Chain A
Amino acid sequence: MSPKRCSWVLAALASAGAVQAQTLTVFAAASLKESVTRIARRFEATHPGTTVVLNFAGSQQLVAQLRSGAQADVMLSAGFEAIRNLTYKPDSLRLFALNRLVAIVPSSDRTAHSFRDLDRLGSIVVADKAVPVGNYTQIMLTSASKRFGANWRAQVEGHIVSREQDVRSVLAKVELAEADAGIVYTTDARAASGKVNVVPIPNDLNIQAEYPAVSMDDRGAQFVKELFSDASQRDFKAAGFGSPLEPRPTRLTSGSLVRLFDASTLARLPATAFTVVLHGHRESYRGYDLRPSLQKLGGRRLKLKGADQYEVQLNLGQCLEGGCYLVTMKDGNLEIFLPNQPPKAWVRWLRSIDLR
């Protein structure tokens, strides 16, 4: 077919788009099963002629399939790590949902456990570190062992009887009461409510799992847009996902002085490279060094507040000593890094810095 005729045919196809049967292929992390299935059915209803084909598995496995030649229009991953080596449309990355970890026990186990009791449960099932939830589990256990001791960690690790290939396999094995406990996402526990009992993980030990969406083409981008519709975000919320926050500027206030920072201002300001130790690893970041501004403004105490109402109070002197950097998060919000403070003082989705 000549290129000319080809483009003519394409134009005809495009004009007939409304009635043309189309298939949209969505690869999604196993933990998204219920909510994304609902969203896909609604997408089909609002886009007549479009069939959404869904493929749920561990994010890492989906990426392996894509890299081996599988075709998809959208990839919804349970973390950034999995999609690091994936080719997608530049600038198509959007953060659309957040999740956290919980421990679960079979519904037949009516004991009121605290998370610390995990070392006393006979058999534990977790996800393999190859999948995001397994990786998050490792990070969470590392922070927990700092509080409960290395012995606690060794006990827990010793009781792990299987490392499953996706989070839903962990859930299934606890549901069947074949294991005494498992670590899954909050949303999985909610999807199986009644079949498993939840043991919450203390907030400061927990992780924030982020779900990025990337699209490979325009049709995929349409589906990603749908993820942010009110109805879709309601579905995610009902399933127990956290909502990613719209980027908003951070207000630095000192008395009557107000200065606003956001991703675009930070991009224009000089960036300094610094390293932090995070979950036992040394990692390098680039961010805007706030110290000169803070020094100039002066004061004694610093109050940091995140969009999720998370609040931290610090001595200004501590910040000036160890460094204080503003960094743009992947979703366009700002985060503050204080390398000589514990990571729980690093407020994410930072909304205000109050200097007194």
Chain B
Amino acid sequence: MVAGVPLLAFLALPIFAIAWRALGAGVAATDEFNQAVRLSFETSLASIVAIVILGTPLAFALARFRFPFCRLVGVMVDLPVVLPPAAAGIGLLLAFGRHGIVATSFAFTTTAVIMAQIFVASPFYIRAATIAFKGLNRDLEESAALDGARPLDIFGRVTLPICSKSLLSGAITSWARALGEFGATILFAGNLVGRTQTMPLAIYLGFESDLDLATKIAGILLAIASGAILTVRWLTDRSGE
């Protein structure tokens, strides 16, 4: 047990340092700060809505069906978890930039921020949802089918409600990841106050000019991350009952 202490201390100390400094940093909320906070919440909420709407069918397909290149699709979906976000940013530029494979004019817009967040954060939701759909006792769905329920009704009235806690905890983890997204954003969306400068970008630039402000934003993100983890824990404990 004692052998675990060094790593625990190593993990805890930076967290403690941010909390300590952030509480001490009595900075007046500047306009830049307010805009970064607002933009972060707006974009990450938009991202998580898109991830849930588009990710749920994908996760269901991955959990229930065998289709060509099924494994490859699974790998593709997981890849952004381990891919460095900066590489993701380059990829997004080359794919969706003005001269990308699918040429769009999204680069340097708020849409680009959301795209970057979806790219890096969706695996967390898809993975959680896939596991939930796989682990579901199929008897319930089958008996509903025997009673004459249509497939969409079964999905909406049986599958989703039973998996809801797992899906919610997956969505929270995914949202927290979207909120913290930095590398892909700075490359694909750039940095402009009010349009693409999210909280993590404000931390990075604040580190150069206003350390107190940067610490304060880091403190907020830390509080949100802690809240997210606690909620997820609580949800998983309950769903195990």
- Which A residues form the contact surface with B (CB < 8 A)? 58, 60-61, 63-64, 123, 125, 128, 130-131, 160-165, 173, 176-179
Contact = CB atoms under 8 A, between A and B. Distances in A.
Nearest to A173: B190
B212 to A, nearest CB: 13
Contact of A178 (B97, B207, B209): B97
Interface in B173-200: 186, 189-193, 195-196
B196 A162 contact: yes
Interface string B196-235: 1000000011011101000000000000000000000000
B93 A178 contact: yes
Interface string B106-140: 01110000000000000000000000000000000
A165 B196 CA distance: 13
Nearest to A82: B208
Interface string B94-113: 00011100000001110000
Contacts of B193: 163
A131 B191 CA distance: 13
A61 B192 contact: no
A58 B209 CA distance: 12
Given A162-B108, A178-B108, A64 B207 contact: yes
Given A130-B209, A161-B108, A177 B190 contact: no
Binding site secondary structure of chain B: loop
Nearest to B189: A162
Given A130-B208, A165-B208, A176-B99, 6 more contacts: A61-B207, A164-B190, A165-B205, A176-B93, A178-B93, A178-B97
B191 A179 contact: no
Contacts of A125: 108, 190
Nearest to A170: B190
Interface size for chain B: under 10, 10 to 19, 20 to 34, or 35 or more residues?
Answer: 20 to 34
A125 B93 CA distance: 15
Contact of A179 (B108, B186, B195, B207): B108
A232 B93 CA distance: 37
B191 A163 contact: yes
Interface in B67-112: 93, 97-99, 107-109
A46 to B, nearest CB: 34
A289 B224 CA distance: 61
Contact of A164 (B107, B191, B211): B191
Contacts of B209: 60, 130
A131 B189 CA distance: 19
* 5 nearest A-B residue pairs (beta carbon): A162-B190, A161-B108, A60-B208, A130-B209, A130-B208
Nearest to B107: A178
A289 B240 CA distance: 84
